[in-house]
Structure 1
Amino acid sequence: MQNRAEPAVARSDRYVRARVRIIRDHTAVTADPPIHRHFTQGEELTLTQWGTAGQPVSDTWWTTQNTTTAHTVPDDHVTILRIIDETSPAG
């Protein structure tokens, strides 16, 4: 078994909004109601990562919006073109 570092815990709410390019096709579905959205390789759009204070910091996903109707894309399916704005989880 490998030793894994525990993820950092955010001291404050955080977010990153970035212009990204999809590098691998991905189909996502919202929770409720279930709406499918296909992200196509080469597509460019603005996505967000976010988290709340006291929770582990995760950069493994990107989302279209911060609601239950969001479509989530795994981080390894995008490349960041430009960070638009961000707040640090360090506070």
Structure 2
Amino acid sequence: MLRIFEPGEELEMFQWGQAGQEVATARWWTSWDIDAPHSIPGQMVEVLAVLEGKLPPADA
């Protein structure tokens, strides 16, 4: 599904990674839903606030 994002539009976005590894910040995702996510290049995103942040345990 094509989705056009407009400058100044605010979205709740996600990043995730594997335990013990640094989270890659090159892409942000618009949904956890495997059927409907869109990815945005990291250089096009301005983080306004971190709503929830947690690092996975290194021994998981």
TM-score (ref. length: structure 2): 0.77
Unaligned runs of 5+ in 1: 1-34
Aligned to 2:29: 63
Aligned to 1:86: 53
Runs (4+) of structure 1 exceeding 3 A deviation are none
Shift of 1:86: 0.9
What count of residue pairs does the alignment treat as equivalent?
56
Of 46, 49, 71, the residue aligned with 2:12 is: 46
Distance 2:47 2:6 in 1: 15
Percent sequence identity is 36
Give the letter aligned to residue 26 of structure 2. Answer: T
TM-score (ref. length: structure 1): 0.53
Distance 2:49 2:41 in 1: 17
Distance 1:61 1:71 in 2: 10
Unaligned runs of 5+ in 2: none
Give the letter aligned to residue 51 of structure 1. Answer: G
Shift of 1:74: 0.6
**CA deviation string 1:26-80 (max 9, x = no partner):** xxxxxxxxx1111111111111111222666311111111224210001111100
